[in-house]
Amino acid sequence: MKARDQQAPRTAVHPAATLAIILVCYFMILLDNSVIFTALPSLKASLDLSAGQLSWVQDAYTLVFGGLLLLGARAGDLLGRRRVFTAGLAVFSVASLLVGISPAGWWAIAARALQGVGAAVVAPSSLSLLTASFPEGRARSRAVAWYGATAGIGASLGLLIGGALTQWISWRAGFFVNLPIGAVMIALAPRYLPETARSRGRFDLAGALTATAGISLLVFSIINTTRAGWTAPVTLASIVAGLVLLALFTVNERRAAQPILPLRLLASRERAGAYLARFFYLAAMIGFFYFSTQFMQDVLGLSPLQAGLGFLPMTAVNFAVAMSIPRLIRQLGGTAPLVAGIALTLLGMLWLSRLHAGSSYLTGLAAPMVLIGAGQGLAFAPLTSAGIAGASARDAGAASGLVNTFHQVGMAFGLGILVATAAHAGTGSASTAVRLAAQVSAALTAGSILLALSLIAAVALIVPAAAARRRHGTAARETRPRPEAASATRVSTSSGTAADGRLEGAVR
């Protein structure tokens, strides 16, 4: 590799401005991933969407975001991260405008997919630019801490901001707000963000397209069952086509010189378990946000802003518990908080699944939200760590990208499954509130099953693999020669025979 590809991160000339630009843009991406939730009932009524169409407004974004995430990260490596970051920001801003002026459901869905393209470029480039701008040490640690805090704050504030804008102006305002922010950030980026050196390599475009198209077709087939059923020709054809495309993706990844998904990453039981557990966990959690906000507004009669505030028991506890995670992991290791976190989330979801038309906010929603918030706070950090555990230096970026990919794809699949489950509940009721409450209960019951699968993946794969890795590390430390023994070996091998040289290399 050439020296220009190994440039050390340099200190930003204007560190505060550099960090602010990166965090504001990252916040904007996160905001649009959650601002939509409290706007769902208003958006559905405004565009006259069916349940399936409404789910695609979210799924179109998450599918494209997750499917192109690794390709977006690769683009930054090959073309320069600032250049790619700015281009992705422009795409995201234009797509936000298109969502805001949507005259019909198909327009909103297509524009959300375009937003996913921009997000898939901006998200990985923002973290890469942060590490390129701040040298390793205290400055980078502080910047990364702010980056992590932005992730948590962005998701929580998105619910509040979405609710406030929907109530006071329109659901469209949540997307229009991206335009001035994006324009200012695009103007400031060339002045304050460093351009990174380009590296040589190839785009695995075939891998990105076959994976995204294959997953999209499978999600479409699930959602299509709400209208046509499992035996409909369109449903069956979509399933077959999706499976064929995913098979082609696997073949392509085996043969590609620089695949977006190095299949060797799945050889580790700990990492594979982390990806699988994250997939099921996020598949359930998307249903929690999607259906809880509709229950609060359409059954309890809360306004969009009140619904956003209604999530505070979960977000506040989540934040408080997440702040204690570093200390807990030092004391207990990562697997105990992980298993406890998923188990608490499962208990909270089971409690939520008992919702009915007569449920109150405090006992039906707020109380179980506390359990879910505590579970999320405990689970996410160790689940992320397990997803990159043991990855080599050359695979570290791909392993991290896979964590985010399974995060987004899990949400897309989960929403499809839960919407399909909800569609067949409460059909015999004449009351809209009773029917919707039954649908929410059915969806959250299915979400509980998904969380149980996440817990099984964690216990069966992550826990034993992590224990084995720790035992192996302990054994390696115990068998490592003492410094004085190593010195003696090096002295004894200084005569220079071939065998002695190999021995010295082994000791070192």
Nearest by Cα to 345 from 383, 392, 391 = 383
E-assigned strand segments in 370-477: none
Tell whether 448 and 322 lie within a shared domain: yes
Going residue by residue through the chain, which has 508 residues, state the pLDDT in tens, using 9 for 90 and above: 444 444 444 545 677 888 888 888 888 887 777 778 888 888 989 999 888 788 888 888 888 887 787 778 778 777 887 888 899 999 999 999 999 999 999 999 999 999 989 988 888 777 677 767 777 667 766 776 677 667 666 666 778 888 888 888 998 988 998 899 999 999 998 888 877 666 676 778 888 889 888 888 888 888 888 777 788 898 899 999 999 999 999 999 888 877 877 888 888 899 999 999 999 999 999 899 989 999 999 999 999 889 889 998 988 888 888 778 778 878 887 789 999 999 999 999 999 999 999 999 999 999 999 999 999 888 887 887 888 787 776 666 677 778 778 888 888 888 889 988 998 887 777 688 899 999 999 999 999 999 999 999 999 999 998 888 777 765 555 555 554 444 433 333 333 333 333 222 322 3
Tell whether 297 and 217 lie within a shared domain: no
Tell whether 287 and 250 lie within a shared domain: no
Q: What pLDDT sits at residue 12?
A: 53
Question: What sections of 3-104 are H helices per DSSP?
Answer: 15-34, 40-47, 51-79, 81-100
In a domain, 53, yes or no: yes
- Tell me the C-alpha distance between 408 and 414, whole Å: 10
Tell whether 211 and 238 lie within a shared domain: yes
Tell whether 108 and 247 lie within a shared domain: no
- Tell me the C-alpha distance between 378 and 371, whole Å: 11
Q: Which long-range contacts (CB under 8 A, 24 or more apart) does 325-332 make?
A: 325/377, 325/378, 325/381, 325/382, 326/381, 328/378, 329/381, 329/382, 329/385
Q: How far is CA 74 from the centre of its chain?
A: 18
Nearest by Cα to 159 from 370, 353, 306, 351 = 306
Query: Which CATH number characterizes residue 392's domain?
Result: 1.20.1250.20
In a domain, 451, yes or no: yes
- Tell me the C-alpha distance between 66 and 53, whole Å: 20
**Whole-Å CA distances, 59 to 48, 63, 217, 364, 468:** 18, 6, 12, 27, 37
- Tell me the C-alpha distance between 397 and 72, whole Å: 12
Tell whether 337 and 478 lie within a shared domain: yes
Tell whether 82 and 18 lie within a shared domain: yes
In a domain, 504, yes or no: no
Tokens of 497: 């025979």
String of DSSP letters for 269-318: HHHHHHHHHHHHHHHHHHHHHHHHHHHHHHTS---HHHHHHHTHHHHHHH
In a domain, 292, yes or no: yes
Tell whether 249 and 395 lie within a shared domain: no
Tokens of 156: 């929580």
3-state secondary structure of 57: helix
Tell whether 327 and 372 lie within a shared domain: yes
In a domain, 505, yes or no: no
Domain count of the fold of the chain: 3
Please identify, among 259, 277, 302, the residue that sits at the C-terminal boundary of a domain. 259
In a domain, 487, yes or no: no
Please identify, among 194, 222, 250, the residue that sits at the C-terminal boundary of a domain. 194
Tell whether 156 and 87 lie within a shared domain: yes
In a domain, 14, yes or no: yes
- Tell me the C-alpha distance between 29 and 117, whole Å: 11
Tell whether 172 and 144 lie within a shared domain: yes
- Tell me the C-alpha distance between 439 and 106, whole Å: 24
The terminus-to-terminus CA distance of the chain in angstroms comes to 25
- Tell me the C-alpha distance between 212 and 240, whole Å: 15
Asked if residues 204 and 340 have their Cβ atoms less than 8 Å apart, the reply is: no
- Tell me the C-alpha distance between 375 and 346, whole Å: 8
Q: What pLDDT sits at residue 183?
A: 92
Classify burial at 14, counting beta carbons within 10 Å of its beta carbon; exposed 0-12, middle 13-18, buried 19 or more. middle
- What radius of gyration, in Å, describes the C-alpha atoms of the chain? 24
Domain span at residue 79 reads: 9-194
Please identify, among 145, 171, 194, the residue that sits at the C-terminal boundary of a domain. 194
In a domain, 186, yes or no: yes
Q: What pLDDT sits at residue 471?
A: 76
Tell whether 183 and 311 lie within a shared domain: no
Q: What pLDDT sits at residue 393?
A: 62
